[in-house]
Structure 1
Amino acid sequence: IYDRASFLPSNPSGFRITNFSQTNNTVQKLNSSDNSIIIYFSSPFFGQNQKMKYSYRLEGYDKEWSGWTTDQKKEYTNLPSGNYKFIVKARNVFDTESPIASYSFFIKRPWFKTPFSFLLYLIILAGIIWIYVTIKTNLLKGSNIRLQALVKERTKDLILFQEEIIEKNEELMQQKEEMQVQRDELHEQNRQTAASLEYAKTIQQAILPDLSALKDRLEHFIIYKPKDVVSGDFYWASRIASKSKQGEKIFVAVVDCTGHGVPGAFMSMIGSRMLSEIVNERKIHNPADILTELNNSVNQALRQDVSESFDGMDACICLIEQKIANQHIITFAGANRMLYYYQKGIHKIQILRGNRKTIGGIMPDVDPEFLNNRIYLSPGDAIFLNSDGIVDQNNEHRRKYTASRFHASLLTNIDKPMEKIGIEINKDFEQFRGNAFQRDDITVLGLRLLEDSD
């Protein structure tokens, strides 16, 4: 038995020689560190040792017998722990085999492979597992405590947030109820306002003249399109009867008041009443004088000499007289408006321009006074009075309808009945406007002179 760390071939003293006298039942026990051994063996045939051959096997390690050899030793190194039995036999020159000799020994397990060590390992492993589980449990408990604290804090925050939401919801519900009350109030106010506007429209429509009363003298059409429910435009007519047709006078006017909607409607009612007073009550029948008196009346009514009111009117007024058979005298005066007329045989729309002077208002005028313009027309000829709403209307491409397009539409349909002319002009205008917003009140009055049936 030798220690490999101290064994050198040149140093035989590295061998630890042990002589064993083994009985049949004796098993030599070796420590785990004595697992490198050399076994020497010999045959008791003196004088023939040089010719003897041996075969051996280490049961528990070798699987089969070794080949025959003259070597008389066998070395084993790093044998694992366990029971071993070395058996050997000899053969002489006559091929006679000797009985099998044996030697049994046991190599103990190293201390770290003993049952006690495994038990100790198990205890240590169990201890490590216990420590690990304990540490993890403590960590989990700590995490659970922190989580519970966090959940508690978050729950508290959520409760506070829920209370805030409930409070806000109550405020919103209260605001909703208040808004519903206000909505109902606004709805009622709008309903009343709409009803009032409809009633105002009815009143305004009532002050507009019935032009069918002039059908024995004039064929007409009227295009009347308020921008809102009520209009700042109005048309007006008056017939001054006489014993003879030569003394009869017919007045027609189209007036465009400042603004539109309710303010314009108030101005239109004031203007209509003033015209009726000037012509019918005060018997002023000169168109230029009528506009002058209308200007003075508006200034006085609105106290524009002491206020900064800009409210005023643009107007065109015509006096139609028949002095001789089948000849009509048209006397026209205009406040920033013009008169269009058509004569049979002259295929174009002609223009009589009014004065560049407004009725009412405080802005300076270009012309100092209103003047009359007079033309002579025959039956079948026509005159057209309008506010500026139709020619200033734009379409979706921001282009205006313009007076030239209005004239073209008139000429295209001039031979048709007046009612049909009004329909065609309105159709052309609406096609031009498309979906564009109506920007102003629109009034167009067309009159065709009729032949005297008498």
Structure 2
Amino acid sequence: DTSYYSEVPPTIQIKKFSVNRKDTKIKNSIKLKYFQNNVKFSFSGISFINEKEIKYKYILEGYDKKWSPFVKETNVAYNNLRNGKYTFKVLSYNKQGIPAKEPASVFFIILPPFWRTWWFISGASIIITGFLYLFYKLNLKAKIKQEKFIYEYDTSLKFKKEIIPEKDPSFRNVDIASIYLPSSRVGGNFYGYTWVNAKEKIMAIYIGDIEESGLHSIKDLVFLTTLLKVVAKSNGDSNEVLSKFNNILYRKDEKTINVNLSFSIFDITNRIISISNAGLGRPIMKRDDNVFLLNLPGPGLPIGVRKSLSYKNLKIELKKNDFILFFTNGLIKSRNKMNNEYGYERLEKIIQGYNIKKVTSKEIIEIISEDFNNFCSNVEQKEDVTLIALKLL
């Protein structure tokens, strides 16, 4: 009786499961790597009535939204699947449209790449958050440091204006000019003029630097320059002033401020200058066509290094067109990008190249300053540079 057999449902089985064209054993749970994302299923149904008339419906849960229409093909492929959980189900139907009692199924998981796993994302998030926090802290620290630097720089310049002369003195038959080139840190350079005896036209000329930079050094300079002016009025010669100044500043059991200083007493009326040196570069003089370094006697040590130093002096009777250049150590010790020092020789050549009779003191120091800036271009200037030029007319 054919009607009996027509009511018997067909069976269905999945015969083959291949991954990236390689057969894979069908298990209860299959785990695939992220690149094993091309799968193919082969299945077949068995019916007591004409097997050629069997039809199939299938679905890949996790990918398909609904069951497929009836098909007779027994192979289904899916390519480029994303990571996730999938269940492939297939049903067979006999000629009368009676389905199999249960679909055949295969469950499998395509794992994500490691960079998409929760542990990697969590770890990366923690690391990135840590880096962002570190960047924030470093940026905040740099900002605070920069603001502090700007504050100290601006404040230092403000204090510097109080200890640096607004203009150079002007006398008949004497041409004096100065220039101050601050470094990126506003160092400890200072210079100035003060009357030793205004009635007799005897003036002190000083130029120097302390071995510190920043706001603290500027506050020291205010004290030092005030003290130096007081000591300068003691009516001693230049060497005696330096010796007194050293004894006042030297402290055996305390931190001493070391000062490099060139101190001169200039008798304008008699055209005699007395020069003493304490750790500063030797001044350069030009007389007629000769340019030379002044050979200053004495210990030459900075102020405050040793107790009871007896400084010496060099007295020069100046004549018309004599030229003397005083400068701080930052000028000759500064280096260019080739790591070469500016040095005495370069400075002497510049002075030698000009006729002192035809140029002013201001013009000479401006020429030197321009040459110095060109020499040190693209290099951070770590030391202040100060020059004082003195010329007899």
Using structure 1 for the length normalisation, give the TM-score.
Answer: 0.57
Match of 1:410 among 323, 334, 351: 351
Give the match for residue 321 of structure 2: 380
Residue number among 195, 204, 227 corresponding to 1:239 in the alignment: 195
Q: Which has the higher strand share?
A: 2
Say whether 1:198 aligns with 2:142: no
Kindly indicate whether the alpha-carbon contact (under 8 Å) linking 1:294 and 1:359 is maintained by their aligned counterparts in 2: no
Distance in 2, Cα, partners of 1:445 & 1:395: 23
- 1:353 has 2:296 as partner: yes
How far off its partner does 1:171 sit?
5.9
Which structure ranks higher in relative contact order (CA pairs < 8 Å, sequence separation ≥ 6)? 2
User: Structure 1 residues 339 and 171 mapped into 2: Cα distance closer, same or farther (>3 Å)?
Assistant: closer
Q: 1:430 to 1:147 in 2, by over 3 A?
A: farther
Q: Does 1:314 align with 2:260?
A: yes
Residue identity over aligned pairs, in percent, reads 15
Distance in 2 between the 1:404 and 1:156 partners?
72
In structure 2, what is the Cα distance between the partners aligned to 1:361 and 1:154? 80
Mapped partners of 2:126, 2:18: distance in 1: 45
CA distance in 1, matches of 2:220, 2:374: 31
User: Is structure 2 residue 285 aligned with structure 1 residue 341?
Assistant: yes
Structure-2 change in CA distance of 1:240 and 1:229 (3 Å): same
Per the TM alignment, residue 212 of structure 1 is displaced from its structure 2 partner at its CA by 2.8
1:394 has 2:335 as partner: yes
- Is this contact kept in 1: 2:168–2:178, CA < 8 A? no
Separation in 2, partners of 1:169, 1:306: 56
Offset of 1:448 from its aligned partner?
Answer: 1.6
The alpha carbon displacement at 1:409 in A equals: 0.7
Q: Is the 8 A contact 1:227 1:260 kept in 2?
A: no
Of 367, 371, 374 in structure 2, the residue corresponding to residue 428 of structure 1 is 371
Cα pair 2:206 2:263 within 8 Å, conserved: yes
2:117 alignment partner, SS class: helix
Q: Which runs of 5+ in 1 are unaligned?
A: 1-133
Classify the secondary structure of the residue corresponding to 2:25. helix
Offset at residue 223 of structure 1 (A): 3.2
Match of 1:305 among 231, 246, 252: 252
Structure 2 CA distance for partners of 1:359 and 1:402, relative to 1, 3 Å:
closer
Larger helix percent: 1
Question: Residue type of the partner of 1:340?
Answer: I
Following superposition, the deviation at residue 332 of structure 1 comes to: 1.1
Please state whether the residue corresponding to 2:271 is helix, strand or coil: strand
166-175 or 201-210, larger mean C-alpha shift? 166-175
Amino acid paired to 2:370: K
Question: Does residue 99 of structure 2 align to residue 148 of structure 1?
Answer: no
Q: CA RMSD in A?
A: 3.5
Match of 1:165 among 121, 124, 147: 121
User: How far 1:369 sits from its partner (Å)?
Assistant: 1.4
Q: Distance in 2 between matches of 1:161 and 1:146?
A: 23
SS of 2:157 mapped into structure 1: helix
Q: Distance in 1 between matches of 2:109 and 2:303?
A: 77
Contact 1:384 1:445 in 2 (8 A): yes
Letter in 2 for 1:393: S
- Per the alignment, residue 56 of structure 1 pairs with none
1:222 aligns with 2:178: yes
Q: What's the counterpart of residue 5 of structure 1?
A: none
Does 191-200 or 173-182 show the bigger shift? 173-182
Task: Kindly tell me the number of residue pairs found equivalent between the two proteins.
Answer: 302
The yes-or-no answer on 1:180 pairing with 2:180 is no
Amino acid of the residue matched to residue 328 of structure 2? Answer: S
CA deviation after TM superposition for structure 1 residue 261, in Å: 4.0
CA distance in 2, matches of 1:383, 1:159: 74
CA contact (8 A) 2:183 2:382 kept: yes
Q: Which amino acid aligns with 2:160?
A: Q
Partner-residue secondary structure (3-state), 1:137: strand
- Structure 1 389/156 Cα, relative in aligned 2: closer, same or farther at 3 Å? closer
> Any conservation in 2 of the 1:340–1:349 contact (CA below 8 Å)?
yes
Find the counterpart in structure 1 of residue 16 from structure 2. Answer: 137
TM normalised by structure 2 equals: 0.65
Assess if the C-alpha contact under 8 Å between 2:264 and 2:273 holds in 1.
Answer: yes
After TM superposition, give the deviation of residue 376 of structure 1 in Å: 0.6
Unaligned runs of 5+ in 2: 1-12, 34-107
Matched to 2:343, the amino acid is T
After TM superposition, give the deviation of residue 189 of structure 1 in Å.
Answer: 4.7
Counterpart CA distance in 1 for 2:149 and 2:179 is: 26
Please report how far the alpha carbon of residue 260 of structure 1 lies from its aligned counterpart in structure 2 after TM superposition. Answer: 3.7
Residues 1:153 and 1:277: Cα distance change in structure 2 (over 3 Å):
farther
- Aligned pairs for 1:73-112 (under 5 A) are none
Cα shift readout 1:183-215 (whole Å, capped 9, x = no counterpart): 346424522431232112111122112343335
Residue 245 of structure 2 corresponds to which residue in structure 1?
294
Structure 1 residues 181 and 359: alpha-carbon distance in aligned structure 2, compared to 1, 3 A threshold = closer
Q: Deviations over 1:252-294 (max 9, x none)?
A: 11112224444544443343122122124xx344211111121
In structure 2, relative to structure 1, the CA distance for the partners of 1:189 and 1:402 (3 Å cut) is closer
1:136, distance to aligned residue in structure 2 (A): 5.3
Change in Cα spacing, 1:158 to 1:370, as seen in structure 2 (3 Å) is: closer
SS of equivalent to 1:380: coil
Q: Deviations over 1:201-259 (max 9, x none)?
A: 1111221123433355632332322332312211121124544xxx1211111112224
CA distance, structure 2, for counterparts of residue 277 and residue 288 of structure 1: 15
Aligned to 2:340, the other structure's residue is in SS state coil
